[in-house]
Chains A and B, each alone.
Chain A
Amino acid sequence: MPVYFLEIIVVALGLVMLMIDAFVKLEDKRSIAWLGMIGLAVVFGLLFAVKWPESTDGVFWQFYESGDSFSLYFKGIAIVATFLVLLMATIYTPIVVAQTARPEKDAHPQSGLGEFFALPMFACAGLMWMASANNLVSIFVSLETVTISFYIMVAYLRRNVGSLEAGVKYLILGALSTAFLVYGFAWLFGITGTMQLDGIKEALTSSDVNVTAALFAFALILVSLAFKVGGAPFHFWIPDVYQGAPTPITAFLSVGSKAAGFLVLLRLISPFLASDALVGKVTVVLGAIAFLTLLIGNLAALPQKNFKRLLAYSSVAHAGFLLMALACTPRASETAAGTSPAQVIAFYLGAYLLMTLLAFLVVTVIRSQMVSEEVDAFRGLAKRSPFLSLALLFAMASLAGIPLTAGFVGKFLVFKLAIEQEQWFLLVVGLIGAAAGFYYYLKIAASMYLATPAKDASTEPLQATMLTKTIMVILMVAIIVAGIAPNVIMGLFS
């Protein structure tokens, strides 16, 4: 089966889900999400069965990368993230229904729920296509498919002021970053005369490249993508949007849109890094952004009291580590020993997916049964729900980077790159950030296990379905396996 069928299947599945929502009378609209999850599981299986065509001469292949295990790996990340987001969305259903269902008597009690399950499918298709985009046009269109779906999803709880505010903020800043991106693309096209990434690389590495104009295009593109991945100083929208958005969508934003942003960043920046005239200046700018992001993300996370806001700053901090890896790209003339930045970023994003989605899955279960997302609400949770606390403990340990977890290997690989490239400033600030991370992640764990709950708190155990628990166990096992034998994940893309 040709590889581009995967995206077509996902889009078709999303359309079928919308049609079912509109025309089939369902008792419980969560069936739509189950359908989507089964479909995504099948598509994930098909990832291992696709083959690349022998001839890639057609016009279509100018827009689509041919033959690349890297892109399949990122497609896998998109599918797994969407699958888990749909699972969270089913758990989160009561809150969505309370905020969106129509008040009329003859309306379906769950009206307005179907689209909440269908929209992630379209975002997923966009993410998957982005993984294979090798042309400025296809990068732009797939990025916008994802972003526009996200605008709707973030603002989805239309009677909740927080969600609407988050939606508007995301809309304005997302559109601003799009404007920077297209202006940067226009200049890149002007300098190189082509939209193909291969052609751009050729033009930028030639000796007669206009350095000033190329750096201008680079700056515009970097501003835009720093917005998308949450690199300082363009991270300021992240805490508000993460806090206001529905929890499953926050999880999707922090994993899906970050993975997509870094993949595009890798693709678009590699021509600049390959050019001897540009690589020095480009890595200095990347290093400065990584430095700021690490510092701001980690230090601003310290005083947070809302758990989603804490995870928002944590996502900024992780973006800092990823940018640090990118800033440690060796010069083209040097032979790269060991793992390349692209491999480190791919591994880090896989690890980040596992631990962040595990954390958000636990938070969604807690949020759907307790009203609060404040850190105080986690006090003494271990006595009330030992299993959920254990799952959250795994996620926090991995996010903090305790040895034998996936998060540790990710950070270790980044630091190793920094040492190889002798980026001492970045290394120091990275270590400070990791140390701060120990404090604010393990504060949650300590609160769950050591603190006594508030006097008026309920002691009833929190309910989680069998499926949710199974998936939590799978994620916990995956975190440990990736921490002990990172080559299992590395083998998927190299």
Chain B
Amino acid sequence: MESAITLNHFLLVSGILFAIGLAGVLVRRNLIVIFMCLELMLAAANLTLVAFSRFNPVDGQPNYEGHVLLFFIITVAAAEVAVGLAIIVALFRSRETTDVTKINSMKY
């Protein structure tokens, strides 16, 4: 029986995920939600990587180079969240807001 799910389906889903994340970053005002949307964009990239590894096999095995990058992306995203949330908390302590439209003290 033919496999019904192809590379294109994976790419479509990951493209939609990336677009949702990007739209969220541009539209939402709460810093925490924006940060979640950024994670969604990274997840979309991860899905693309796995899909390409699986569907472009080398010697009958998935191309594991994609998986290597994927693990690094997960690790780096975790580090980014650790630093990012700390900065957002520090900002919240001094400004008592996480609304990006209110973070505008610098203008020329």
> A residues near B, CB below 8 A?
136-137, 140-141, 144, 148, 151-152, 155, 158-159, 161-162, 164-169, 171-172, 175-176, 178-180, 182-183, 185-187, 189-190, 193-195, 239-240, 243-244, 303-306, 309
What is the bound-complex CA distance between A244 and B108, given in angstroms? Answer: 12
Closest A residue, CB atoms, query B91? A164
What is the bound-complex CA distance between A171 and B39, given in angstroms? Answer: 13
Closest A residue, CB atoms, query B84? A171
A136: chain B residues at CB < 8 Å are 69
B91 A165 Cβ-Cβ under 8 A? yes
A187: chain B residues at CB < 8 Å are 48
| Residue in B22, B35, B49, B63 whose beta carbon sits within 8 Å of that of A186 in the complex | B49
- Which residues of B from 28 to 57 have beta carbons under 8 Å from A? 31, 34-35, 38, 41-42, 44-46, 48-49, 51-52, 56
What is the bound-complex CA distance between A179 and B41, given in angstroms? Answer: 6
Q: List 18 A-B contacts (CB under 8 A).
A: A140-B69, A148-B76, A151-B80, A151-B87, A152-B83, A155-B87, A155-B90, A172-B100, A183-B45, A183-B48, A189-B49, A189-B65, A189-B69, A190-B48, A190-B51, A193-B56, A195-B69, A306-B108
With A137-B69, A175-B80, A189-B52 known as contacts, the answer to whether A162 contacts B34 (CB < 8 A) is: no
A161 B95 Cβ-Cβ under 8 A? yes
What is the bound-complex CA distance between A169 and B106, given in angstroms? Answer: 11
What is the bound-complex CA distance between A168 and B22, given in angstroms? Answer: 17
B87 A168 Cβ-Cβ under 8 A? yes
- Count contacts on B: residues with CB < 8 A to the other chain: 42
A196 to chain B, nearest CB (A): 9
A308 to chain B, nearest CB (A): 10
B27 to chain A, nearest CB (A): 13
B103: chain A residues at CB < 8 Å are 165, 168-169
A52 to chain B, nearest CB (A): 24
What is the bound-complex CA distance between A159 and B93, given in angstroms? Answer: 9
A144: chain B residues at CB < 8 Å are 76, 79-80
Tell me if B94 counts as interface (CB < 8 A to partner A): yes
B31: chain A residues at CB < 8 Å are 168, 172
